[in-house]
Chains A and B, each alone.
Chain A
Amino acid sequence: MMMNSMKNPFNIPNGTVIKGKWHLQSYTIVKELGRGANGVVYLADWNKKRVAIKVSDNNVTITSEMNVLKSFSKAQGVTLGPSLLDVDDWVLGNKTIPFYVMEFIEGVHFLAFIQQKGKSWVDIFILQLLADLEKLHEQGWVFGDLKPDNLIVTGPPIKIRCIDVGGVTLQGRAIKEFTEFYDRGYWGLGSRKAEPSFDLFAVAMIMINTYYPQRFPKQQDGLSLLRQKIEAIPELRKHEQVLLRALTGKYATAIQMREDLLDSISKSSLRNQSRALKQKTTVSPTPNKKRTVKQIQPSTKKRPRKHSGIKETIIIFMVVCFLYVLYIYQQI
């Protein structure tokens, strides 16, 4: 019985008009946007507006996702998911197919965007995501199935949004839907109870995932493997404290993690340039010089040893000072 619902027999041709049985709205299918385990999402035309329609033969999925989206739209300030526009049934011959209509979130998938535009966006998206998660958690929810596949970058202004609310769960209950790599239960690092820290674990895994797009399987000791993976990548290592705290459930709220991440970001940019100085000198010919600093980094970071972090900071700091002296000298 349930077997069928997983195979998604839907293949609705472009141009098909879907008319709702209850609310009598008509939607013209433009193209398929994507399909997942629980249904197919189409781009459609509704009164010249573009909307996204999720169709599934699994009434349970459609109905509970509708419930979540509905309560999101009632809650103030929750902008994480798409807004809900309509819920209805499409009668096709003797079959009744449930669907819901939502805001079309136009953009690129998270990992694809990072690949195109560079890793410098990662921290920004994570900060945006944490701010949105804080609002969601305040309303008593947990996102559950947080993963790059469910993150879309829209804009401009560039902003990260979540799709697929199938995993959204009331706090205190059992997480409804999750994906192994981003699930702390899989890594042996916590329960599947819906708590903010469940999402924050996933956020840390998303950060790790951007540097390991192929992901990697778990081993006996989940935490030490993750630590090893973090330490192998300089961009992750600079946030090691934050990542480890998120992975071990030390953050009770998204805002705590966000603040720590901000701290960590500003600390690591102190290595690249002394911020105080930069803010005072309003002229901006520095970019070239910043680049020189960056080119020096890899060679000092090639073989990271335990204490190289401190040494490297000192070296970089000295180089930066030297460049600034040069720079100020030129200005005079």
Chain B
Amino acid sequence: MQTGTLKQILLITDGCSNHGEDPVAMAALAKEQGISVNVIGVMENDVIDDQGMREIEQIASQGGGVSQVVYAKKLSQTVQMVTRQAMTQTLQGVVNQELKQILGSSSSMEDLPPEKRGEIMEVVDDLNETVNLEVLILVDTSASMKHKLPTVKEALLDLSLSLNARLGNNLFSLFIFPGKKNDVEKLLDWSPRLETLTSAFSKLTPGGMTPTGPAIKEAISYFRKKRSIRGLLSRHDDEFYEESI
């Protein structure tokens, strides 16, 4: 089975977008290009209003991802859980697609007897462990996020710890929105570890609008750019897939 690399955008925010393109539309655009969008809403003393909640859920559901709204102190556990769940979800989608081809259009994993389901689940588990993963993290740095940023940083380090325990390779990159000059600013280029972000993160000065839509749009193009550059270097990756599948 051919799966390629899993691509995810992880959006961490604490409220509604108020600038630029519709983020739900941008999430749909990402999904069309094989990138799933996960959203985590962080609260501290504030609560996210209905409109913000709805937007968070809609972005994730349009983006084929997972969403969760949590208090800051639960952020670490949630970030890694959401990422893993989204991986399973995507891989299961791939497996379901294959099943449909084999068994006919109406079949999905749920229609199979439990024993068969168990066998398929083992395949999904194996893929989950070995597949390569690219996560582009988008952090909302509007004014209200200021106090939450240290927690966000910790959660991201924790994410790196969880994912790097897998057998598959990981690449992370980190963007913030709004940036100093533009809607979006890159803090960390594709890197297998998130530990390097520590210094960059503490220099941030949150403030300004919340251009969630433009941020997602920019994130998508960053995946594409990278792919074309990496085309030259991808020999190593191909070998890896042959081994693991």
| Residues of chain A having any CB pair with chain B under 8 Å | 1-3, 6, 22, 59-60, 63-64, 66-67, 70, 87-89, 96, 98, 100, 172-176, 180, 185-186, 191-194
Contacts and interface: CB of A to CB of B under 8 A. Distances in A.
Contacts of A2: 66-68, 82, 85-86, 89
B92 A88 contact: no
A67 B89 CA distance: 18
A88 B84 CA distance: 25
Interface in B69-125: 76-77, 82, 84-86, 88-89, 92, 109-110, 113-115, 117-118, 121-122, 124-125
Interface stretch (B163-171, B179-187, B227-235, B237-245): B163-171
Given A22-B113, A70-B118, A87-B114, A193 B165 contact: yes
Contact of B161 (A6, A63, A192): A192
Contact of B121 (A1, A3, A64, A175): A64
Contacts of A176: 84
B163 A180 contact: no
Contacts of A96: 110
Nearest to A21: B113
Give the interface size class of chain B: 35 or more
Nearest to A184: B161
26 contacts: A1-B60, A1-B61, A2-B66, A2-B82, A2-B86, A3-B66, A3-B68, A22-B114, A59-B109, A60-B124, A63-B114, A64-B121, A64-B125, A66-B114, A67-B118, A67-B125, A70-B118, A87-B118, A96-B110, A173-B165, A173-B166, A175-B162, A185-B162, A191-B165, A192-B161, A193-B165
Nearest to A174: B165
Interface string B156-196: 00100111111100000000000000000000000000000
Contacts of B110: 59, 96, 98
B129 interface: yes
Contacts of B115: 87
Given A59-B109, A63-B114, A173-B167, A192 B76 contact: no
Contacts of B165: 173-175, 191-194
Given A63-B121, A174-B129, A185-B158, A191 B164 contact: yes
In this complex, the member of A87, A173, A186 whose beta carbon has the largest number of chain B beta carbons within 10 angstroms is A173
Contacts of A175: 162, 165
B140 interface: no
B57 interface: yes
B114 A60 contact: no
Contact of A173 (B77, B109, B129): B129
Given A2-B66, A96-B110, A185-B161, A63 B167 contact: no
Interface in B46-62: 57, 60-61
A100 B118 CA distance: 12
Nearest 3 A-B pairs (CB), nearest first? Answer: A174-B165, A192-B165, A87-B114
B89 A63 contact: no
Given A2-B85, A3-B68, A64-B121, A172 B61 contact: no
A117 to B, nearest CB: 32
Given A60-B88, A63-B121, A191-B164, 11 more contacts: A2-B86, A22-B114, A64-B125, A66-B114, A67-B118, A89-B114, A173-B166, A174-B129, A174-B166, A175-B165, A180-B76
Nearest to B114: A87
B89 A88 contact: no
A3 B57 contact: yes
A60 B66 contact: no
Contacts of A59: 109-110, 117
A1 B76 contact: no
A194 B167 CA distance: 11
A64 B125 CA distance: 8
Nearest to A2: B66
B118 A66 contact: yes
A66 B125 CA distance: 13
A70 to B, nearest CB: 7
B32 to A, nearest CB: 18
A98 B122 CA distance: 17
A204 to B, nearest CB: 19
A186 B76 contact: yes
B59 to A, nearest CB: 12
A198 to B, nearest CB: 9
B93 to A, nearest CB: 11
Contacts of B61: 1
A39 to B, nearest CB: 15
Contacts of B121: 60, 63-64, 67
B6 to A, nearest CB: 14
A192 B77 CA distance: 13
A64 B88 CA distance: 12
A310 to B, nearest CB: 40
Given A3-B57, A59-B109, A60-B121, A98 B162 contact: no
A6 B57 CA distance: 14
